[in-house]
Amino acid sequence: MLQNPHLPAFGPLSGAKVAHATSSLAGPFPAQLMADMGADVIWLENVKGPDYLRWAGSRVIDQERRNQREIALDIPSEKGREVLFRLVKDIDVLIESSKGGQWAGWGITDEVLWEHNPALVIVHVSGFGQTGLPSQVRRGSYDPIAQAYSGTMILNGFPDRKPTALIPYVSDYMTGLFAAYAALASLNKAKETGKGDSVDIAQYEVMLRCACHATDYMTDGKVYPREGMHSANVGSVGTYECADGKDLYLCAGSQSCLKRLIPLIGLEYGSEMFPEGMPLVFLGTEAGDVYEAALSKFFSEHTAEEAERILLEKDIPVSRINDYEDCKNDEHMNLRGDFETWTNFAGEEIRGLAPQPKLKNFPVKSWRPAPDVGMDNDEVLSELGYSEQEIAALYEQRVIGKLDSIPHRK
């Protein structure tokens, strides 16, 4: 029986047991969120091809595999499946990320898994889903592929240039969020009924579901252009250059905002051009031209710091455009504890992001750095009832394996 001897009791998911056979980011992220919330999480990494991000020159592994144990396992092999089946008897959620149908092709169907644990929640994360056109289901996918296929990428960038992908990894992170909430909703039902469920997460569908513009097109045929740094439709939504050459992003688009902003920039609120209760100022109109000219004049007469202060004093949504150096030194972010420092198993000091969101009664926390390849093989397998001799045989047969800490490539 799994009994993590290192895991402190914390968070709303204390007592929940999760395993994930994933790589990259979209599949691992829901498991990371659960680990941040106190679940006992085990990463089943591919012993034949460990996660490529370990060599990518990024700190993604350090950031997105904390609070987890790891076993490096050859799941498709006969002995690997035996380990998996023994594991699933004692967990609540299993997450896998691969091309659609890959696990079924290995003979590891949902029904086979439920034979070992009828209450198991199974989450399949893929680019194109488990059903549909076979040629599509079998396609590989990464974050920008989902953006391209879903109609997301075509909306992003500048109107006079080619579409561009949103970064960093928006599709991966959103897919992970959908997977996490679907898994926990299914777990809630499984606790009530004793019957698990299978969640089919297609990465492109997550992006499509989060595209309200798609409904505008399918209902009214409305096409939104790529906007670049300013709304193509309404005023006071976009980037404005200030007197010191720095940019602010303004997003003032409601009755209450315009009531405060219009007189601030020297225009008459309640006039025929800017009537009382006006919710938006549309571009391409006389009012829009006057409004944007007044905004440009206002920003040209103030530094970014001055303009931000003046607008915030009027409770108008605006922000300087920060880089990560700005974030690192931001007083508000630091007071809220948005960053933390830890040491990984290679002995490197990591400065990164604290778990989110913040909970008052059962707070999230970090308690362990990201594991090395196979570092918890012996411990986890012994908890599953394997003897030292049986574990040694699995090493010899290359069903499991280990790698020392991989040097970070900057």
pLDDT tens sequence across 383-393: 999 999 999 99
The pLDDT-based confidence of 12 (bands split at 50, 70, 90) is very high
**Are 50 and 70 within 8 A, CB to CB?**
no
How many percent of the chain have pLDDT more than 90?
A: 98
The secondary structure element, H or E, covering residue 39 is: none
**Are 402 and 374 within 8 A, CB to CB?**
yes
Residue 409 reports pLDDT greater than 90: no
How many percent of the chain have pLDDT more than 70?
A: 99
pLDDT tens sequence across 329-362: 999 999 999 999 999 999 999 999 999 999 999 9
Domain ranges (residues) in the chain: 17-211+336-397, 237-322
The predicted structure's pLDDT at residue 406: 73
Q: Which residue has the tokens 């030194």?
A: 329
- Residue 286 burial class via C-beta count within 10 angstroms: exposed 0-12, middle 13-18, buried 19 and up: exposed
Domain at 17-211+336-397, CATH homologous superfamily? Crotonobetainyl-coa:carnitine coa-transferase; domain 1 (3.40.50.10540)
The predicted structure's pLDDT at residue 410: 64
The CA distance from 382 to 392, in Å, is 11
Residue 263 reports pLDDT greater than 90: yes
Show which residues are catalytic: 172
The predicted structure's pLDDT at residue 404: 80
CB atoms within 10 A of CB 226: 17
pLDDT tens sequence across 108-147: 999 999 999 999 999 999 999 999 999 999 999 999 999 9
- Residue 111 burial class via C-beta count within 10 angstroms: exposed 0-12, middle 13-18, buried 19 and up: exposed
- Tell me which residue of 290, 310, 294 sits closest to 248, measured CA to CA: 310
Residue 408 reports pLDDT greater than 80: no
Instruction: Determine the residue type at 201.
Output: I
Domain at 237-322, CATH homologous superfamily? formyl-coa transferase, domain 3 (3.30.1540.10)
pLDDT tens sequence across 87-101: 999 999 999 999 999
The CA distance from 27 to 125, in Å, is 6
Q: Which residue has the tokens 């109609």?
A: 151
The predicted structure's pLDDT at residue 405: 74
Mean pLDDT of the chain: 97
- Tell me which residue of 256, 166, 182 sits closest to 30, measured CA to CA: 182
The predicted structure's pLDDT at residue 355: 98
294: left (phi over 0), alpha (psi -120 to 50) or beta: alpha
Q: What is the mean pLDDT of residues 239-265?
A: 97
Range list of H helices, 246-360: 255-264, 286-300, 304-313, 324-329, 331-335
Q: What is the mean pLDDT of residues 146-171?
A: 96
Name the DSSP class of 243. T
The CA distance from 69 to 370, in Å, is 8
- Residue 247 burial class via C-beta count within 10 angstroms: exposed 0-12, middle 13-18, buried 19 and up: middle
